[in-house]
């Protein structure tokens, strides 16, 4: 059996074990939990953030146990680092003698060390991936045997980082400990520095590279496994992270981590895997377009009556429509139509005019703005007519109430729905961008082409700033509208 056949057999063993749909789903969930927990540890090492920004999840069952308490973070971090150190050291000890022997043999033939390590890295990652606790315990028992067997091969300058990191991610500085030290001494050095990583002193670059190496070791296998298994793991991880977001976890940390750790690794995916990722992203795009299609639209040919989707408009909108009272509307728009009322009710008049200014100044659709001004002019004209013509006062009052009632329904109610729609639209768009960040695709919602890069284009930054400014303006308008309960009868 040649190496290629053996590799194919190993790949066939990697997808989830056969079983019921529930068993496979639980398997994928636990895989996602392990991946995110490793990302937590690597993030802490690189950004000095709390270990549990995703919350606390059970490695065995995947159940969410609530956010970590402050007093347990350091203990959990210490336990996680110790476990990662043990796994890293044991797997290196298992692979070290064989890889070093291969490197020594290739040196005798005059070949390059780095090429040897790169060619053997895939095979070493595959066998390292299948390491279990039993093999770790057995490796620990054979420590002395491994050290003896490495005695001769340690003369070769083999860099253990080559097994885990591609060239562009290897340490840029010379690390004598990592390059020349035996694995046993290297493990002791890691454990010795552990206290320094947890202490108050400066963080060690050594620790950052260690955790990035471990994370890369986990993600590098993605492009070596079957496309089906890759899609399942990606879906499970994405679903898992999305579920964690329901607990109001910090988004800025999540974006920073996913952009730094996951996005660069996606460059290593095969074309089939990348195509699968694009299909997943297309699903999100379709959902986004379906949501935007349901938003209120205003065209010049029709009155701006707003179909308000009950899925995202607040309950108080229905309460608003049921509380329309003619007398309160009369008083409200009398203050708008007759400036003399401002002297008697200065505060109410000020609030009413502030609402009007917001309605006219906010970026609302032009048809709605035109109708708003038309009805306002009619209401003001009716109020003036009522004052100047005492004879038909009753008719003028009826016209005023009719106009103000139409004005109320067609502008305040419609505008209120539009404000909510725009706010929710902005929040959903931002939320989708955050979800796309978790998939490693940056700025996907604002670009026709997928940008597999860890950064933001200037156009996207400007668009995001414009949206945020618009959202703030609309939120302020809604706050002012909500503050007029006494005047309008909400």
Q: Residue 5: is its pLDDT beyond 50?
A: yes
Over residues 202-211, the pLDDT tens digits come to 333 333 334 4
b/e per residue 12-26 (b: at least 16 CB within 10 A)? eeebbeeeeeeebbb
Residue 88 forms part of a structural domain: yes
Residue 209 forms part of a structural domain: yes
Residue 279 forms part of a structural domain: no
**Structural domain tally of the chain?**
2
Higher pLDDT, 173 or 186: 186
CA distances for 185 relative to 128, 132, 189, 209, 275, angstroms: 20, 23, 6, 18, 44
Whether 263 and 324 map to the same domain: the answer is no
Whether 221 and 334 map to the same domain: the answer is no
User: How many CA atoms lie within 13 Å of 119's alpha carbon, on the beta-carbon side?
Assistant: 12
Residue 444 forms part of a structural domain: yes
pLDDT at 373: 55
Q: Mean pLDDT across the chain, nearest whole number? A: 43
Whether 339 and 413 map to the same domain: the answer is yes
Q: For 158-168, what is the mean pLDDT?
A: 39
Whether 26 and 140 map to the same domain: the answer is yes
Domain encompassing residue 60: 3-269
Highest mean pLDDT among 68-77, 213-222, 452-461: 68-77
Given 269, 296, 330, the domain boundary residue is: 269
b/e per residue 186-199 (b: at least 16 CB within 10 A)? bbeebeebbeebee
pLDDT at 257: 40
CA 322 to chain centre: 39
Structure tokens at 119: 């060619």
pLDDT band, very low/low/confident/very high, at 378 (cuts 50, 70, 90): low
Over residues 325-355, the pLDDT tens digits come to 334 444 444 444 444 433 343 444 444 444 4
Q: Residue 21: is its pLDDT beyond 50?
A: yes
Whether 160 and 258 map to the same domain: the answer is yes
Given 269, 297, 327, the domain boundary residue is: 269
Residue 436 forms part of a structural domain: yes
pLDDT at 380: 52
SS3 of the chain: helix, strand, coil, percent, to 5: 75, 0, 25
Over residues 241-274, the pLDDT tens digits come to 444 444 433 444 444 444 433 433 434 444 444 4
pLDDT band, very low/low/confident/very high, at 4 (cuts 50, 70, 90): low
Q: For 279-298, what is the mean pLDDT?
A: 44
Whether 254 and 350 map to the same domain: the answer is no
CA distances for 131 relative to 6, 75, 87, 211, angstroms: 17, 26, 9, 18
Whether 481 and 364 map to the same domain: the answer is yes
pLDDT at 463: 54
pLDDT at 469: 60
Residue 297 forms part of a structural domain: no
CA 288 to chain centre: 16
Q: Residue 1: is its pLDDT beyond 50?
A: yes
What percent of the chain lies above the pLDDT cut of 70? 0
Whether 381 and 247 map to the same domain: the answer is no
Q: How far apart are CA 126 and CA 164, in angstroms?
A: 11
Structure tokens at 3: 């190496």
CA distances for 66 relative to 33, 57, 58, 243, 452, angstroms: 14, 8, 10, 12, 33
Highest mean pLDDT among 81-95, 255-269, 283-297, 475-489: 81-95
Contact 440, 257 (CB under 8 A): no
Q: Residue 75: is its pLDDT beyond 50?
A: yes
Q: Residue 27: is its pLDDT beyond 50?
A: yes
3-state secondary structure of 219: helix
Highest mean pLDDT among 359-363, 414-418, 470-474: 470-474
pLDDT at 48: 36
pLDDT band, very low/low/confident/very high, at 381 (cuts 50, 70, 90): low
Contact 5, 25 (CB under 8 A): no
Whether 104 and 161 map to the same domain: the answer is yes
Q: Residue 487: is its pLDDT beyond 50?
A: no
pLDDT band, very low/low/confident/very high, at 440 (cuts 50, 70, 90): very low
Q: For 293-322, what is the mean pLDDT?
A: 35
Residue 384 forms part of a structural domain: yes
Only one residue has tokens 């156009």, namely 459
User: Strands, DSSP E only, in 100-221?
Assistant: none
Q: Residue 292: is its pLDDT beyond 50?
A: no
Structure tokens at 294: 């349901």
Over residues 78-115, the pLDDT tens digits come to 455 455 455 445 544 554 444 334 333 333 333 333 33
Q: Which of 261, 265, 273 is nearest to 233 (CA)?
A: 273
């Amino acid at each position: 059996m040649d190496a290629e056949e053996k590799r194919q057999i190993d790949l066939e063993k990697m997808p989830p074990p056969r079983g019921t749909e529930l068993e496979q789903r639980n398997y994928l969930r636990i895989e996602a939990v392990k991946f995110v927990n490793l990302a937590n540890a690597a993030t802490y090492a690189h950004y000095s953030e709390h270990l549990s920004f995703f919350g606390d999840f059970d490695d065995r069952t995947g159940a969410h146990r609530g956010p970590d308490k402050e007093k347990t973070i350091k203990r959990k971090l210490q336990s996680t680092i110790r476990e990662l150190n043990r796994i890293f050291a044991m797997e290196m000890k298992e692979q070290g003698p064989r890889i070093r022997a291969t490197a020594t043999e290739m040196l005798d033939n005059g070949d390059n060390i780095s090429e040897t390590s790169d060619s053997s890295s895939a095979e070493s990652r595959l066998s390292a991936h299948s390491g279990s606790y039993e093999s770790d315990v057995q490796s620990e028992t054979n420590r002395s045997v491994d050290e003896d067997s490495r005695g001769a091969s340690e003369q070769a300058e083999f860099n253990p980082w080559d097994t885990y990191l591609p060239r562009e991610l290897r340490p840029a500085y010379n690390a004598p400990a990592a390059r020349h030290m035996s694995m046993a001494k290297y493990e002791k050095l890691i454990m010795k520095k552990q206290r320094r990583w947890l202490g108050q002193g400066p963080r060690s670059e050594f620790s950052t590279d260690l955790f990035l190496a471990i994370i890369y070791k986990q993600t590098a296998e993605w492009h070596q496994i079957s496309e089906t298994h890759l899609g399942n793991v990606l879906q499970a991880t994405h679903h898992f992270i999305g579920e964690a977001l329901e607990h109001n976890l910090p988004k800025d940390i999540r974006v920073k981590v996913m952009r730094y750790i996951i996005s660069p690794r996606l460059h290593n995916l095969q074309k089939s895997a990348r195509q699968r990722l694009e299909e997943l992203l297309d699903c999100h795009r379709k959902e986004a377009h379906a949501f935007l299609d349901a938003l209120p639209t205003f065209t010049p040919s029709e009155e701006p009556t707003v179909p308000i989707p009950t899925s995202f408009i607040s309950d108080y909108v229905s309460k608003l429509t049921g509380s329309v009272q003619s007398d309160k509307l009369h008083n409200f728009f009398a203050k708008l139509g007759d400036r003399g009322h401002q002297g008697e009710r200065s505060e109410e008049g000020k609030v009413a005019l502030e609402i009007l200014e917001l309605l006219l100044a906010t970026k609302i659709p032009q048809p709605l703005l035109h109708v708003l001004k038309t009805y306002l002019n009619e209401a003001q004209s009716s109020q003036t007519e009522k004052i100047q013509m005492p004879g038909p006062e009753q008719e003028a009052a009826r016209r005023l109430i009719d106009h103000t009632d139409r004005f109320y329904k067609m502008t305040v109610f419609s505008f209120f729905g539009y404000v909510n729609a725009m706010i929710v639209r902005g929040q959903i768009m931002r939320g989708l961008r955050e979800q796309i960040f978790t998939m490693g695709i940056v700025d996907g919602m604002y670009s026709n082409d997928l940008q597999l890069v860890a950064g933001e284009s200037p156009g996207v930054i400007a668009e995001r700033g414009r949206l945020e400014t618009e959202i703030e303006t609309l939120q302020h308008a809604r706050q002012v509208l909500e503050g007029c309960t006494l005047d309008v009868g909400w």
